[in-house]
Chains A and B, each alone.
Chain A
Amino acid sequence: MSFKSTDNYIASSELSTAVNAAVTLERPLLIKGEPGTGKTRLAEEVAKSLGLELIQWHVKSTTKAQQGLYEYDAVTRLRDSQLGVEGVDDVGNYIRKGKLWQAFSREQRCVLLIDEIDKADIEFPNDLLVELDRMEFHVYETGETIKAIQRPIVIITSNNEKELPDAFLRRCFFHYINFPDAQTLKAIVDVHYPSAQSTLVKQALEIFFDIRKVNGLNKRPSTSELIDWLKLLISDELSAEQLKSGQLKSALPPLFGALLKNEKDIHLLERLAFMSRRDS
């Protein structure tokens, strides 16, 4: 069982080493990187290539660690007790399994994605320390201990909005997805749009890197934005010449809305384009 680039996902050798180490040693793998470099996609691809089920837990700012284990629905139970509903005496009927519990109770090994862990409260990772380390937890209401039948492959992504606690980091393997170089990007585009004309892709990549080089952009376009943009270019049936004629030097690239999502950035680029026109 080992993870490599697939037909629709390009993983660098560094990334596959990290994934394979985490899979073999059954440690959670923490993935960081610029937004849009394929962190969430990684879990899907790992699950697909290893033929395992994927359980996704998307973390929000209001998510509590407890919700990943289980939730005790006390209000429903109180209400049911007033109405005399069957089964109200069994507390187990009012316990909702969280994603972690679901992953632990699978007979087959599965992949558990904890997406954007940094979105939650700063204490969130600390609350999951033991659960992720020993892959077990205690249910206070029923007094049972849930232990993972098969230790799931845990992939955690972070956008670095919050620093993660040291104790948590010690228990994870870590990989930072660096922004791909031109060659890797070309491979990524080939995987997504095999039919695109190679000159168009080349031109598009040049423009893309030119834009990424512009100083002072609030949000530099990333891989997923490049792919969206190419999709538009291809569906508009633009040719490489047309793309070139609208290059950064003279004006904004066509369909730039897919690349730049910030008003300020668009203004900045317009100003630069204006200045270079004036100079030439």
Chain B
Amino acid sequence: MLVQFLLHMKHSGMKISTTEWLDLIAALQASVSATTVDDFYLLARTCTVKDESLYDKYDQAFSAFFEGVRAMPDPFDFDLPKDWLNNPTLKNLSDEQKAAIEALGGIEKLIEMLNERLKEQKKRHQGGSKWIGTGGTSPFGHSGYNPEGIRIGGPGRQGKAVKVWEKRHYKNLDSGVELGTRNIKVALRALRNFARTGSSDELDLEATIGSTAKNAGLLDVKMRPERHNAVKVLLLLDVGGSMDYHVKASEELFSACQSEFKHLKHFYFHNFIYDHLWLDNHMHRDNLTALNEIIHTYGRDYKLIFVGDAAMSPYEIAAPYGSIDFYNEHPGAYYFKQLTDHFEKTIWLNPTAQEQWRYVQSIGMIQKMMNGKMFPLTVEGIAQSIKALT
């Protein structure tokens, strides 16, 4: 039984080690409290899941294991087993629900409607309150509010409310979702490069003993600076225009970077890199910094991070005088290459959803110039990008 459980959890993408699994068995043997499925659910979670962002995944995997069916997928690209439709769920319905169904024209009518909707949904691949899904107001799906609904993908037995793991309390803790500063900070921590700089406030024991001995036994205390994160980051942020939709994400990234890196410099650009950037977004025309100056000021060891949606007209990248702000003598790609050639490690963070990238020509062009080092601005994306930076 538990072997199956372990294998199923592993298969569902939960990283459970053998020791954790043995812990769970030990906990069960010590009969801490596992008398009901709810208890087992909690106990197994305590023993095997070590990150709240994985709670949601665990809930789904657990639900799937116990019901023997796959957790209700999103309305997009899914396949419903046929027998769900052939097998009337009447026995799970209460009297009132039955009455409500009668009012709608009976269970046959309802199933007919469901069948129709299934077909439609496959054809159209479209979301909305009408379609089968979770938490909606459509009569089909589960965890929803429509009392006469047909339950799909979850147990409706005993007329009881949804199980704990089906409530999916922790959905918004999932790590694929939008990020807050704290999450970004956690991701940015990976970018560390320790060095001893600053004031000497740590006792250097070996040097002290050495110099005391040399000093004929007279105590001579030696101090040394503590280790600090010495990584240097140059952040270039796209502002204005299409980036207005992503202001919050960019702001959060920026504030997380500020608290995380001591050596952080930033500049703004609009759409793409030309011969000037600016430091203060409010007075951008009056306070331009030449690209050359940036290249000469900041050494190759600065990690260069672009943040932008990379959505623009291809002319802005490839053609001279293509910029909407500047009279650029050379194409944007020329200036861009100067930058990327100068800095050793460069990445691009893109706040638009990754699925949409392939529909935008300029993203493809920049992706190519970046040698594929463009990442989505999510916690996962940042974590990947950090790997590319180190």
Contacts and interface: CB of A to CB of B under 8 A. Distances in A.
B208 A75 contact: yes
A173 B169 CA distance: 20
Contact of A163 (B52, B189, B208): B189
Interface in B12-45: 15, 17, 19-20, 23, 26-27, 30, 32-33, 39, 42-43
A19 to B, nearest CB: 9
A79 B42 contact: no
Q: Considering residues A17, A122, A170, which has the most beta carbons from chain B within 10 angstroms of its beta carbon?
A: A17
Given A75-B208, A174-B51, A122 B192 contact: yes
Interface stretch (A24-32, A37-45, A203-211): A24-32
B46 interface: yes
A170 B20 contact: yes
B42 A160 contact: no
B370 interface: no
Contacts of A162: 186, 189
A160 B50 contact: no
A173 B218 contact: no
Q: Considering residues B46, B52, B209, which has the most beta carbons from chain A within 10 angstroms of its beta carbon?
A: B46
B290 interface: no
B57 interface: no
B19 A170 contact: yes
B185 interface: yes
B219 A79 contact: yes
Nearest to A181: B169
Contacts of B205: 74
B217 interface: yes
Nearest to B55: A176
A135 to B, nearest CB: 16
A82 B50 contact: no
A182 interface: no
Interface in B180-228: 182, 185-186, 189, 192, 203, 205, 208-209, 212, 217-219, 221, 226
A7 interface: no
Interface residues of B, number: 38
Interface residues of A, number: 34
Contact of A78 (B15, B185, B208): B208
Interface string B266-291: 00000000000000000000000000
Interface string A69-85: 00000110011011000
A18 interface: yes
Contacts of A172: 50
B49 interface: yes
A24 B23 CA distance: 11
B114 interface: no
Nearest to A30: B50
A175 interface: yes
A88 interface: no
B43 A17 contact: yes
Interface string A1-37: 0000000000001100110111011010010100000
Interface in B112-137: none
A185 interface: no
Contact of B218 (A82, A163, A174): A82
A17 B39 contact: yes
Contacts of B47: 21, 173
A178 B39 CA distance: 17
Given A78-B212, A160-B186, A173 B219 contact: no
Given A17-B33, A21-B32, A174 B50 contact: yes
Nearest to B20: A170
B32 A24 contact: yes
A169 interface: yes
Contacts of B52: 32, 176
A24 B46 CA distance: 13
B46 A18 contact: yes
A236 interface: no
A161 interface: yes
12 contacts: A18-B46, A24-B27, A24-B30, A25-B23, A74-B203, A75-B203, A81-B217, A169-B50, A170-B17, A173-B23, A175-B46, A176-B173
Given A75-B219, A78-B212, A162-B189, 9 more contacts: A17-B39, A21-B33, A21-B43, A25-B27, A79-B219, A81-B217, A161-B182, A169-B51, A173-B47
